[in-house]
Structure 1
């Protein structure tokens, strides 16, 4: 957990972050229904994911660290929504905050940095799927201008039960500050 008054830095992720990012994600895999992955990963298994988020372009990885300890406090990504070419101007966004680092504005800092980085990219819409219930995530997305567009009922099964996923959408601005 960051020390009281510690500053947070948000920067693009890089390969040296892989171990800590994998540990953070694995917490959500094994302890929550936030992600529908059902088994933990090794850093080597997560390497293609990390490399699919370069420093530029529409698919980004932003990492928040404690400036004193350099401990990773969370990350946000924009990833392809679907693999077919016509979806290229749409991204799926997500944010994960490290256990013990919540309620400090880390998610807000990450999303602010992610959307600032995407401002000059040819991205028309951002989408986010939120496993239900998760009011904190819904609040964060609404704060950034996402609106609820629908819910997939009982779409995922994890921990012996079915989970709904609420889908949110956000219009993004293109390179000239105009909607794409």
Structure 2
């Protein structure tokens, strides 16, 4: 593959991101969304991630986005502030060329630089390629939920992998 630029996503990337993501919605159990995502909705999602102080990245090959990765808050309550859930999708043509690993490593570096601690990835099962990518990056399997989703006429398991980013624990104030 030619030179791939990994850069922050912008709203103008939404149409191409939808073109990558919507086929996964339509024909796989990899995502539990069931309706295609419109360009304006995807642009809002990109903006929401950026406004939350998190990261949404795209892999750009000669002006064409071939993959994306981002992080969202793991849970809303304040104690979860240092934990995020990660997501990555590639154009099927880009799969198997190291794009996913490079994109994900950059995402993890960005999250670490923001002082985040735990990265959690939910993976619908089976998905051997995604499991292999996460484990290559150091994620460890921490949970497996049986038949928690139903899509395309079948029950789907979801397993979770976690990666602890290096760093100190935040200091807590103790008031009496």
CA RMSD of aligned residues (A): 1.6
* Rounded Cα–Cα distance in structure 1 between residues aligned with 2:48 and 2:78: 16
Could you tell me the TM-score, scaled by structure 1's length?
Answer: 0.89
Q: How far off its partner does 1:155 sit? A: 0.6
* Rounded Cα–Cα distance in structure 2 between residues aligned with 1:83 and 1:55: 15
Higher relative helix content:
2
Unpaired segments ≥5 residues, structure 2: 171-176
* Rounded Cα–Cα distance in structure 2 between residues aligned with 1:21 and 1:179: 35
Q: Give the number of equivalent residue pairs.
A: 170
Q: How far off its partner does 1:99 sit? A: 2.1
Q: SS where residue 169 of structure 1 aligns? A: strand
* Rounded Cα–Cα distance in structure 2 between residues aligned with 1:26 and 1:41: 6
Moved more, 139-148 or 42-51: 42-51
1:35 matched to 2:31: yes
Unpaired segments ≥5 residues, structure 1: none
Q: SS where residue 122 of structure 1 aligns? A: coil
Could you tell me the TM-score, scaled by structure 2's length?
Answer: 0.91
Spell out the pairing of 1:1-180 with structure 2 (5 A cutoff): 5-54=1-50, 57=53, 59-66=54-61, 68=62, 70-174=63-167, 178=168
Partner deviation per Cα, 1:24-48 (whole Å, 9 max, x = no partner): 1111111211100011011112222
